[in-house]
Chain A
Amino acid sequence: MWLLKLSWKNMWRNRNRTAITMTAVFFSVILSILTNSLQEGVFDNLIKNVVSFYSGYIQIHKTGYWDEQILDNTFENSQELQDQILQLENIDAVTPRLESFALASSDTLTKGCMVIGILPGKEDAITQLKNKVTEGNYLSDGDLGIMMGEGLARRLKLELKDSVVLIGQGYHGAMAVGKYPITGILSFGQPEMNDQSLYMTLANAQVLYSAENRLTSYVIGLENTNDLDPTAENIRSSLGDGYETMTWEEMMPEVVQHIRTDKGSMVIIQLVLYMLIAFGIFGTLLMMMVERKYEMGMLVAIGMKKFKLMQVMMLESLFTVLSGCILGILASIPIVVYLYKYPIRFKGQLAEVYEEFGFEAIFPTSTNPEIFLNQGILVLILGLILSLYPIVKIARINPVNAMKK
């Protein structure tokens, strides 16, 4: 107890110095949490846009479909198969899709698009597609209309209630032609989805592509998205070789690569931040050792074991670092929560640049408690490592030399 008391009191021996060190730790922790939180938030948003709102976390296709995405590589829809998948662990929902390409035409304009045939109710349960409707209505079962991304509508100069003509190739080389009224306009966070996607009911899509009861994929909704790989493995072993089960990471390696690269560059920024913290703490420890060399020599002379003195110094460093760290974490919480609720949005040209690269120009933060905890632990470890300096100095202290003035 008295060791704690001595350390605590020593910490306030030079108030200005302690305050400066604590402030350095305080701001570094805030900066570190903010950069981490923004990075995680942006990635979460990216994954949410791409994965949750479109691909789903896992998809099942006929083996070979992903390498050659043509309608000849479809499989037959089967309630039995869906039930088999639903019985597996961590599976929340299954929805069938038939996806293919087509040329979408208005009066004078034509653009390639991705036609996605869905079961409206089940699709919404997994991808919350209904929330993306900005004009008109969400599809219903038996609906003869289509919904399209706002970017596609803009490019084709089409509006709600206009008609769009689709021309493509169907199952086994059949012609695919149809004319559909636009009953809904969708807005996606991901620009690519806005510019290319066109939704219709599964039945309509199967008629368009002459692919009766055929599907390109089952999109799987998970109870716990953290157990992605084990769940995929479980599906693989349950369905056998006729089907390929792919996680979103396997389907979109470019997204995974982007996240990895971005995280790598963030590591460098964080290293600079931690170096700043480290120099701040080390400077304090250095001055502290010079100032208190005599006193430490005296304490060893009167009978304080070096180990006890080391404990005192270690506790002092920890108190200083921990205090700055805790204050930094507390101060960063309202900032992170605010930016989570009201994310930074880029506008104008900067936003266009982001969208050109396929990203929504929005920067929400992540409120994942792990970010706060990890920063605390990292700075604490840093403090512990740096406190090795006074420990080494104390281990070598000779009371007679230390007390020489």
Chain B
Amino acid sequence: MKTVIDAHNISKTFNPETIPIHAVRDVHLHLERGEFTALVGPSGSGKTTLLNMLGGLDKPDKGNILINGVDITSLTPNALIDFRLKNIGFVFQSFNLIPVFTARENVELIMQLQHRSKSEIEERVRTLFQEIGLEDKMDTRPAQLSGGQQQRVAVARALASKPQFILADEPTANLDSKSATKLLDIMAKLNEEENITFIFSTHDPRVIKRARRVITLVDGQVHSDTGPIDTSSDHFNTIEKE
């Protein structure tokens, strides 16, 4: 298996000079291609901070992160933006589609940034909309789509650049049960059939249930790193309560 993410001993402290908050402490993480991983833990456990660091949005105070062998902690800000564009797909909790663009234009945007050819963009967009099951909504603006449909477009956008992996921050948090299930089905299918690596930060038991690996963070540290877990178990409930 090919290593996609290799994080060594990373730590992040906010307000180090006033009231220090140790968001992430000495985390080691190793993710292989094709993993379907959930980062779980109570609020304030450091999931989003860890995800931001893995996505190159934030720099750790200590340690380094290798993505496909490239140490992203040593890249310049501009090089980091370029790296994110080519290697990392993002799915955000509140979809974050550009409201003035249609669904198609939102997905095309990433490929335009990559200077892909027109024909390549058209073909890729068609394929992606087929995969998310929204071929008939390509020319619809985000405001006219349901939350679930918007999040599926966001997944298509994240996939458009053919990234090494996709980081999803609470992707189902704003979705109803049916939309969340549909979204998870699509992501699971992409993972299984196209071997796309997904890492979610989530509280949602529906997501955790589908994950093949669950990393639990408590107080910025890896509490456990297991295979699929039973979300109705005492162990899970204890972590959630904490």
Contacts and interface: CB of A to CB of B under 8 A. Distances in A.
Contacts of B158: 302
8 contacts: A2-B108, A295-B98, A301-B55, A302-B85, A302-B157, A303-B161, A304-B85, A306-B81
A9 B105 CA distance: 12
Nearest to B99: A13
A400 interface: yes
A295 B106 CA distance: 13
Nearest to A12: B100
A2 B100 CA distance: 13
A383 B3 CA distance: 50
Contacts of B181: none
B52 A400 contact: yes
A301 B57 contact: yes
A308 interface: yes
B96 interface: yes
Interface in B92-126: 92, 96, 98-101, 105, 108-110, 112-113
Contacts of A299: 98
A2 B110 CA distance: 11
A303 B113 contact: yes
Contact of A400 (B58, B92, B109): B58
Contacts of B96: 294-295, 298
B200 interface: no
Contact of B57 (A294, A295, A400): A400
B78 interface: yes
Contact of A13 (B55, B85, B100, B113): B100
Interface in A236-290: none
A302 B106 CA distance: 12
Interface in B53-97: 55, 57-58, 78, 81-82, 84-86, 90, 92, 96
**Among B81, B92, B113, B157, residue most surrounded by chain A Cβ atoms (within 10 Å):** B81
Given A2-B109, A6-B101, A304-B113, 18 more contacts: A2-B112, A5-B105, A6-B98, A6-B100, A6-B109, A13-B100, A295-B96, A295-B98, A298-B92, A301-B57, A301-B90, A302-B157, A303-B110, A304-B81, A304-B109, A400-B52, A400-B57, A403-B92
B158 to A, nearest CB: 8
A299 B52 CA distance: 14
Contacts of A2: 108-109, 112
Interface of B: 52, 55, 57-58, 78, 81-82, 84-86, 90, 92, 96, 98-101, 105, 108-110, 112-113, 157-158, 161
Nearest to B58: A400
Contacts of A304: 81, 85, 109, 113
B75 to A, nearest CB: 13
B65 to A, nearest CB: 15
A302 B112 contact: no
Contacts of A303: 81-82, 84-86, 110, 113, 161
B84 A302 contact: yes
Contacts of A302: 84-85, 90, 110, 157-158
A251 to B, nearest CB: 63
A113 B161 CA distance: 89
Nearest to B167: A301
A308 B109 CA distance: 12
B56 to A, nearest CB: 9
A298 B82 CA distance: 14
Nearest to A404: B48
A300 B52 CA distance: 13
Pairs A-B, 6 closest by C-beta atoms: A303-B85, A9-B100, A298-B96, A2-B112, A303-B84, A400-B58
A209 to B, nearest CB: 82
Contacts of B90: 298, 301-302
A173 B100 CA distance: 89
Contacts of B99: 13
A178 interface: no
A97 B82 CA distance: 80
A399 interface: yes
A10 interface: yes
A305 interface: yes
Interface in A1-27: 2, 5-6, 9-10, 12-13
Given A2-B112, A400-B52, A305 B82 contact: yes
A9 B101 contact: yes
A294 B93 CA distance: 13
B52 A308 contact: no
B171 to A, nearest CB: 14
Contacts of A295: 96, 98
Nearest to B91: A302
Contacts of A13: 99-100
A294 B158 CA distance: 18
Contacts of B110: 302-303
Contacts of A400: 52, 57-58
A159 B65 CA distance: 104
B87 to A, nearest CB: 9
Nearest to B158: A302
B62 to A, nearest CB: 18
A10 B100 contact: yes
Given A2-B109, A308-B113, A400-B52, A300 B101 contact: no
A239 B82 CA distance: 73
A312 to B, nearest CB: 11
Contacts of B161: 303
B58 A300 contact: no
Nearest to B59: A400
